[in-house]
Amino acid sequence: MKVNKIMTVRILFSMIVLFGFASCSKKSSSKNTSSATGWKINDPNGGFQYNSSFTKQETAPGLVLVEGGTFTMGKVQDDPMHDWNNSPSQQHVQSFYMDETEVTNMMYMEYLDWVKRVFPPTDENYKHIYEGALPDTLVWRNRLGYNETMTNNYLRHPAYKDYPVVGVNWLQATEFAKWRTNRVNEAILEREGYMKKGAKVVDVDANNTFDTEAYLVSPSTSFGGNEEIILQKTGRGGKKAKAKKAKGDDADATATAGAEGPTNVYAQKTSGVLLPEYRLPTEAEWEYAAAADVGQREYNIYRGQKKYPWKGQYTRSGKRQTRGDQLANFKQGKGDYGGIAGWSDDGADITAPVKSYKPNDFGLYDMAGNVAEWVQDVYRPMVDDEANDFNYFRGNVYTKNKIDKDGKLEFVTSETIKYDTLSNGKVVARNKPGEIAQVPVDENETYLRQNFSTSNNIGYRDGDKQSTRYFDFGSAEEGEKISEKKRMYDSPIHKVEVVKDSTGKIDSTAKLSRKFDKTGKRTTLIGDDVRVYKGGSWRDRAYWLDPAQRRYCQQEIASDYIGFRCAMSRVGPKSDFKKRPRN
């Protein structure tokens, strides 16, 4: 009887194992078979190619995952400034990635080195590209202070390599993020066999560069269309093959070998290898990541509200091992930027090397103190949670790829670079060779849409014509452009006139004409070129360390206490782990 029981158990176990193998086999085979048509996916003979084995987004260099969720944005314990610009509102942000630390001098120097090699400033056509990327080292100067050591050494000297970069305005921070996107994706394509090894260093120049968006739309034009650099792969997981130029428009990023062999493919969105763009975090993302309320989560609620990115109501550590140590780098009082030399010193008088203090519960360093940080948002006194409470962001300006008169994509070349002159007289490049030229969206994209109706949405519900006290919904003049005298925000208007030659290029020998707005009747500093920056810095009192505090600065202005870090959107599931209740 006992033997029969053992045999029965063995038979059942064998059946379970066989059934498991059969299920796995069936699952494996169905993975590469279309549930829509029954056709084979990733057939080496051609047809639909798709990365059906994709698991999750790769964590890009320097980033950590911040799992999204709901939080109270703008909630502060103290408001002695009475700004009324951080009224609490419930918001929800999607999961995203954020830089573990602020962008350092060494990281920014790598960017400058690349720009200088690819767009040499000795060439008059590229001079303003490199100069436009340089941080303003003169931000360290003070009329009644000796700071020439930082002016001359802070950016480039290796003693400051791990210190956060400063003197960078909002526009420069945004350009750095674009550059970083392209260099990271370039390295991924090289690793995956879609690009010749070493080409990103050896073969790159002003006319042969890589741009992620341009590659996705027209891969064969990257690196000047050099087929020795931009490679194709045969099918999914097949051997590498040299790219054959596709006839006509290659916007579908494929070239078929026909009867000669299987389909050769470039990396596409469907390949899943290229990462989304690096960018500045939105204000909501930054505040959510800095507060890190996840560390106070119990089941489905937060146990109280944090005053700082760490637990507790004080700026000094209460733990036995580190009791009394400062938890951030900030100004402790008048003439006190670090404390008495010795035990109570916070370890820095100006900025401090990144990772000098403990990270918050998301693993992010220096979310309070060290340097304040630029975020994407255009500043407005109120966060309009009635209009949107999901991934809140003010600053959307939608564009589309420019199509020339022949119906083809228009790429930026060395001859068609556009330069903008900022209100402070600095000339910066609006675009660079290898990128796709952009134009504002028009009624072809906005007609009968309910979610957006214009290209520029910066002033929506607070700054547009309908928001002003002069707007009359029943007036016949409703469609007319509002005059400068009736703007919602009456900020100064500084103008700089640049002399250009007959070809439209800037005459570098001509003197700039600067026209300052000297009127004393302006009522505000707020405008569409004013951006939010968050977090306290080495120059700020503890009051500004609260993640909910917000300030603003013109996007063209740099300082010795504002830096930045990058973020990246997450594609796919909210989390990598299965959910379970806390405790």
Residue 441: is its pLDDT beyond 60? yes
**Superfamily for domain range 63-107+136-176+277-383+528-569:** paralog of FGE (formylglycine-generating enzyme) (3.90.1580.10)
Average pLDDT, the chain: 85
DSSP 8-class letter at 444: H
pLDDT in tens, 149-203: 999 999 999 999 999 999 999 999 999 999 999 999 999 999 999 999 999 999 9
pLDDT of the residue at 211: 95
- Range in 117-126, 174-183, 359-368, 424-433 the model is least confident about: 424-433
Residue 247: is its pLDDT beyond 60? no
| Confidence band of 458 (pLDDT split at 50, 70, 90) | very high
Distance CA 299, CA 67 (A): 16
pLDDT of the residue at 471: 76
Neighbouring CB atoms inside 10 A of 426's CB total: 20
pLDDT of the residue at 144: 96
| Confidence band of 250 (pLDDT split at 50, 70, 90) | very low
Residue 417: is its pLDDT beyond 80? yes
pLDDT of the residue at 12: 64
State the number of CA atoms in the 13 A half-sphere of 460 facing the CB: 20
pLDDT of the residue at 264: 61
- Range in 76-85, 306-315, 497-506, 544-553 the model is least confident about: 497-506
- Range in 61-75, 112-126, 251-265, 320-334 the model is least confident about: 251-265
pLDDT of the residue at 454: 92
Cβ 104 vs Cβ 365: under 8 Å: no
pLDDT of the residue at 64: 97
DSSP for 94-151, please give it. --EEEESSPPBHHHHHHHHHHHHHHS-TTSTTTHHHHHHHS--GGGG-BTTB--HHHH
- Greater model confidence, 272 or 27: 272
Residue 459: is its pLDDT beyond 70? yes
Residue 500 has phi, psi (to 5 degrees) of -120, 150
191: its two tokens: 């690793």
**What is the length of the chain?**
583
pLDDT of the residue at 244: 41
Residue 251: is its pLDDT beyond 70? no
pLDDT of the residue at 327: 86
pLDDT of the residue at 14: 65
- Greater model confidence, 490 or 240: 490
DSSP for 233-247, please give it. EETTT--EEE--PPS
pLDDT of the residue at 505: 64
Residue 260: is its pLDDT beyond 80? no
- Greater model confidence, 256 or 487: 487
The predicted model gives 340-352 an average pLDDT of 85
300: its two tokens: 């489905």
- Range in 70-79, 94-103, 258-267 the model is least confident about: 258-267
| Confidence band of 28 (pLDDT split at 50, 70, 90) | very low
**Dihedral sign computed on CA atoms, order 443, 446, 447, 452:** negative
pLDDT in tens, 29-62: 566 888 899 999 888 777 888 888 888 999 999 9
Residue 27: is its pLDDT beyond 70? no
Cβ 131 vs Cβ 121: under 8 Å: yes
Residue 16: is its pLDDT beyond 90? no
What percentage of the chain has pLDDT greater than the value 90? Answer: 55
Return the bridge partners of 563, or none. Answer: 373
The predicted model gives 211-238 an average pLDDT of 81
Q: What pairing do the DSSP bridges indicate for beta strands 562-563 and 550-554?
A: unpaired
| Helix and strand element counts for the chain (H, E) | 9, 22
Residue 450: is its pLDDT beyond 50? yes
pLDDT in tens, 503-559: 556 666 666 677 788 888 888 889 999 999 999 999 999 999 999 999 999 999 999
pLDDT of the residue at 396: 97
pLDDT of the residue at 257: 37
Burial label for 260, CB within 10 Å (0-12, 13-18, 19+), is exposed
- Greater model confidence, 353 or 508: 353
